[in-house]
Amino acid sequence: MLYFSRWKTVLIWAVVLAGLILSLPNSFTQSQLDSFPDWLPKKQLALGLDLEGGSRMRLQVDKEHLPDTDATVAVLTRRLNELGYSNPHVVTERNGRVLIEVPGLYDSQLLKDILSLTGELSFRMVDTSVPVQQAIDGTPPEGDEVVYSFDDPPVAYLVKKEPLVTNSNFVDAQAGIDTATQQPVITFRLDSIGADRFSKATKAGIGQSFAIVLDNQVLSAPVIQEAIPGNTGQIAGTFDLSGASNLALVMRAGSLPASVTVLEERTIGTDLGAASVTSGKIAALIGAALVILFMLLTYGFLGVIASVALVVNVVLILAVLTLFGAPLTLAGVAGIVLTIGMAVDSNVLIYERIREDRRAGFSVIQAIDSGFARALATIVDANVTTLIAALVLFTLGSGPVHGFALTVTIGIVTTLFTTFTLTRLLVSVWVQRSKPKEVPGALLKLVPYNTRIGFMKLRGLTLGFSALSSIAAIALFVIIGMNFGIDFKGGTMVEMQSLEGAIDLDDVYSRLDELNIGDVKIERFKSDDRALITVGSQGEGEDAEQTVGVKIRGEFQDEYNFPRVDVIGPSVSSELSQAGLLAVGLCLVLIFAYVWFRFEWHFALGAILATIHDVLLLLLMFIIFKMEFNLWSIAALLAIVGYSLNDTVVIYDRVRENLRKYGNTASLASILDASINQTLSRTILTSLATFLALIVLYLYGGDDVRSFALTIAVGIIVATYSSIFVAGPLLMLFGLKGRDVMDEQSPAPISDEGRV
């Protein structure tokens, strides 16, 4: 195990070097990169909207026109390009959904106006042969229809259905100010077909009116004073200059083949994004520093090797994200911090095995080789369970859940690589050059190696406590319920920042009450000049939710900035709820199947019940303290599902090993006690290392991450408890016998040369 061929050594260092080269551009500014030679990589890590700032919108194409989705997306993309923002991200989702992200665009109302407008513009002759009211009361003449203006109250017009000019005839359109009237106008240019048709119609219709119709509403209906030759003209209407600019953009990009509805809207201001970047960097750096210090104090020089592998691990995660252009989100930073804490688990497992075998009389080389060999299966099993949770999150999740799952998934792969290649290579080099007489000792010893705690004697008490706590969680969930956020209930959340000093919450509440938007929650947020407004779902469809955001902006836009705006429609919130439940359920089923495949049904059922216990206790915390339950909470719960199973599988692996050895000579209770005591040091050390990283994330990770970090930190405590006091006793409850695992072979002995 400690021998590395030359080609393996070269390959390992090549991967590390490639990771360093790919991630290196992230240490420089763009101007510095421009001065580098062309052969050097210059691609930098893409930042998500929550770090860079910008707007995200999810649209639904009219379900009667789903075949036109691709054509609609093409028009939406042209409109975004016309808007002038670089790198818009447009993704077609299932069932006619379209996800749009525009970094650097902080006016979500502008984005909504541009994207949701169908933009079907036409010129139609007004028919005055029949009074409009007669057409309204009866039946319009054949070839005519009644349309209404944008005025308040609207004015009815009887117009020809056959248009003179349509969107396809506009070659260009630009907004401007009419020098004579000083009113906003749109100057347009027609193609030859449209120009010829319009010229003939105006020549024949002098004295009549033609209507400029936008999305079946009349902008204006000018009277034709004389024939209009040529291919240019102007449109005047009730719009302001901003509205004229938006309409001109839509005219240039073309009309939508199908109408769209805004389902979800999220906006992150530039200051909020910059603050998230800063807090994320601080959390990651301090978390890494604390974990590295912890490893040094616990394992001496082996801790140095683990720390080098940890740094390379993070570099490789950043390199993979950079290489594939995957954006790093705030949740992704949280995933990296969690990976930092959990990455030490593999090294802890190996190092604790090394110390254990050394105490058993193995030579240093034998102990090191045995530590890597015997920890392999445990590490793979533990990481596969976490990987299952991450992949389920990645597949079913959205928003922050997706970003978190992505970095955790990459982190698991890079952790396995660094643990069984780089760490082992560095240990091999150290052994060959230093020829150590002893395994490095610890400056910090938290758990004595020869503990003899009788955990099974407490099983009645611990199982009873866990059962009562779980029942209480279920009962309170039914009676009181959860404090669900707008992700799962729908609604609007707006962060407001005063332009002039502290916010008067009473004034804000009074003005919101006059908007007649239902139940409103207002709280001071971060500082005296900021407030967070949460408005419940309107329960009247997607458009009603969007109206709330429009009303709030309109009421406060002269006095406040809006660093963050989230609007979640009922269909999205319902789907998020279903996806969250499906994610948790599917995760548990897949992990149950894997553990059953790798162990026995007793172990699989015990691991799942212990994990469900952990989830229920975390839900109990949410209910008692009325913590908001949102997408971040789902990510935290599934992270704990993976972590709890990781913890339990490590102990179960040792139980299985001891059952093979002593299943015919020792009682199950004594084997369980011995197994838990043998892995107790690893359990405590891993939990503490991960806990340190999460406490830093809680303190410095920003408001969005704080509840997430707290949930996982508490979850680690609960998972540590359950792996010791619940998972083991459950095996006794299920009547596990030594013969259940006796058909599997024990590992072969290891020679002094480190070979099997």
Residue 603 belongs to a domain? yes
pLDDT digits (tens, 9 = 90+) for 162-209: 999 998 899 999 999 988 888 898 899 999 999 999 999 999 989 999
- Looking at residue 330, what is its pLDDT? 75
153: preceding bond cis by omega (within 30 degrees): yes
Retrieve residue 394's tokens.
């990645």
Q: What is the mean pLDDT of residues 32-44?
A: 84
Is the domain of 332 the same as that of 246?
Answer: no
Residue 693 belongs to a domain? yes
- Would you say residue 386 has pLDDT above 90? no
Lowest mean pLDDT among 71-80, 565-574, 726-735, 746-755: 746-755
Find the CATH number of the domain harbouring 533. 3.30.70.3400
Retrieve residue 482's tokens.
């959860």
- Would you say residue 580 has pLDDT above 80? no
Q: Nearest 5°: phi and psi at 535?
A: -120, 130
- Would you say residue 213 has pLDDT above 70? yes
Is the domain of 90 the same as that of 125?
Answer: no
Is the domain of 503 the same as that of 378?
Answer: no
Q: What is the mean pLDDT of residues 391-409?
A: 82
Residue 754 belongs to a domain? no
Q: For the chain, what percent of residues have pLDDT higher than 70?
A: 95
Of the residues 218, 253, 288, which one is the last residue of a structural domain? 253
pLDDT digits (tens, 9 = 90+) for 535-548: 988 876 666 788 88
Is the domain of 159 the same as that of 288?
Answer: no
pLDDT digits (tens, 9 = 90+) for 636-677: 887 888 888 888 988 999 998 899 888 778 899 999 999 999
pLDDT band at 109 (very low <50, low <70, confident <90, very high): confident
- Looking at residue 532, what is its pLDDT? 92
Lowest mean pLDDT among 61-70, 341-350, 467-476: 341-350
Contact, 199 vs 228, CB < 8 A?
yes
3-state secondary structure of 209: strand
- Looking at residue 729, what is its pLDDT? 95
The string over 251-272, giving b where at least 16 C-beta atoms fall within 10 Å of a residue's C-beta and e elsewhere, is bbbbbbbbbbbbbbbbbbbeeb
- Looking at residue 549, what is its pLDDT? 86
- Would you say residue 339 has pLDDT above 60? yes
* Spatial CB neighbours of 568, under 8 Å, sequence gap ≥ 6: 264, 486, 487, 490, 491, 492, 545, 576
- Looking at residue 753, what is its pLDDT? 35
Lowest mean pLDDT among 118-127, 404-413, 582-591, 599-608: 582-591
Of the residues 118, 137, 163, which one is the last residue of a structural domain? 118
Question: Which residues does residue 267 pair with via DSSP β-bridges, in sequence order?
Answer: 55, 565
pLDDT band at 684 (very low <50, low <70, confident <90, very high): very high
pLDDT digits (tens, 9 = 90+) for 719-735: 999 999 999 999 999 88
Residue 340 belongs to a domain? yes
pLDDT band at 754 (very low <50, low <70, confident <90, very high): very low
Q: What is the mean pLDDT of residues 86-91?
A: 81
- Looking at residue 741, what is its pLDDT? 60
Is the domain of 590 the same as that of 646?
Answer: yes
Q: What is the mean pLDDT of residues 273-291?
A: 78
Contact, 355 vs 448, CB < 8 A?
no
Prediction pTM value: 0.80
3-state helix/strand/coil string of 118-160: CCCEEEEEECCCCCHHHHHHCCCCCCEEEEEECCCCCCEEEEE
- Would you say residue 359 has pLDDT above 60? yes
Of the residues 85, 118, 151, which one is the last residue of a structural domain? 118
Residue 657 belongs to a domain? yes
Lowest mean pLDDT among 33-47, 134-148, 165-179: 33-47
Find the CATH number of the domain harbouring 94. 3.30.70.3220
- Would you say residue 749 has pLDDT above 50? no
Domain that holds residue 517: 492-539+546-567
- Looking at residue 563, what is its pLDDT? 87
Is the domain of 158 the same as that of 234?
Answer: yes
pLDDT band at 752 (very low <50, low <70, confident <90, very high): very low
- Would you say residue 747 has pLDDT above 80? no
3-state helix/strand/coil string of 721-748: HHHHHCHHHHHHHCCCCHHHCCCCCCCC
- Would you say residue 428 has pLDDT above 90? yes
Residue 36 belongs to a domain? no
Place of tokens 């445990």: 378
Arithmetic mean of pLDDT over the chain? 87
Is the domain of 201 the same as that of 342?
Answer: no
pLDDT band at 337 (very low <50, low <70, confident <90, very high): confident
* Spatial CB neighbours of 418, under 8 Å, sequence gap ≥ 6: 309, 310, 312, 313, 316, 343
Is the domain of 109 the same as that of 244?
Answer: no
Helices (H), 325-436: 330-359, 364-396, 400-417, 424-434
Q: How far is CA 323 from CA 20, 311, 490, in A?
A: 12, 18, 36
- Looking at residue 396, what is its pLDDT? 81
Ranked by mean pLDDT, the top range of 78-82, 487-491, 628-632, 718-722 is 718-722
Is the domain of 370 the same as that of 343?
Answer: yes
Residue 553 belongs to a domain? yes
Supply the angle between the helices 424-434 and 364-396 in degrees, to the nearest 10: 160
Is the domain of 288 the same as that of 421?
Answer: yes
Sequence letter at residue 669: A
Is the domain of 383 the same as that of 317?
Answer: yes
pLDDT band at 740 (very low <50, low <70, confident <90, very high): low
Residue 37 belongs to a domain? no
Query: In the sheet where 97-103 sits, what is the strand order?
Result: 89-92, 97-103, 54-61, 260-268, 560-568, 491-498, 527-536, 520-525
Measured at the CA of 485, the angle between CA 481 and CA 486, to 5 degrees, comes to: 130
- Would you say residue 269 has pLDDT above 80? no
- Looking at residue 574, what is its pLDDT? 80
Residue whose C-alpha is closest to residue 16's, from 372, 418, 284: 418
Residue whose C-alpha is closest to residue 168's, from 200, 195, 146: 195
- The number of distinct structural domains making up the chain is 4
- Would you say residue 463 has pLDDT above 90? yes
- Looking at residue 746, what is its pLDDT? 43
Find the CATH number of the domain harbouring 228. 3.30.1360.200
* Spatial CB neighbours of 722, under 8 Å, sequence gap ≥ 6: 466, 610, 611, 613, 614, 644, 647, 648
- Looking at residue 750, what is its pLDDT? 32
pLDDT band at 272 (very low <50, low <70, confident <90, very high): low
Is the domain of 200 the same as that of 107?
Answer: no
